[in-house]
């Protein structure tokens, strides 16, 4: 993984911990976002919106439709960084 990927992943994990507390304490890069946090698609979109705002990027919803792992989400964000 790259430094940028790790930075995005670390921030995603922190955002999840801030929002979901105990449910997010043991998150890992390969975890399924929905299963690990026990969230629905609306809660996932809220988390992803916060990530977009944090890194000042915009990710079309269609790019995230099949993405499930935290690492995959971080990679999509990393690709959008300048």
Q: pLDDT tens across 47-77, in order?
A: 999 999 999 999 998 998 889 999 999 999 9
Cβ contact 42:28 at 8 Å: no
Q: Determine the angle formed by the axes of helices 3-20 and 70-80, rounding to 10 degrees.
A: 120
Cβ contact 29:9 at 8 Å: yes
pLDDT at 10 over 90: yes
Cβ contact 48:64 at 8 Å: yes
The domains located in the chain, with CATH, are 3-80 (1.10.1200.10)
Cβ contact 34:73 at 8 Å: no
In the chain, % of residues over pLDDT 70: 99
Entry pTM: 0.86
């Amino acid at each position: 993984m790259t430094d940028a990927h790790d930075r995005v992943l670390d921030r995603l994990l922190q955002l999840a911990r801030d929002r979901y507390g105990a449910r997010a304490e043991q998150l890992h890069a390969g975890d399924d976002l929905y299963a690990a946090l026990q969230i629905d698609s609306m809660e996932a979109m809220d988390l992803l919106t916060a990530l977009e705002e944090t890194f000042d990027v915009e990710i079309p919803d269609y790019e995230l439709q099949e993405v499930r792992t935290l690492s995959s989400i971080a990679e999509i964000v990393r690709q959008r960084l300048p």
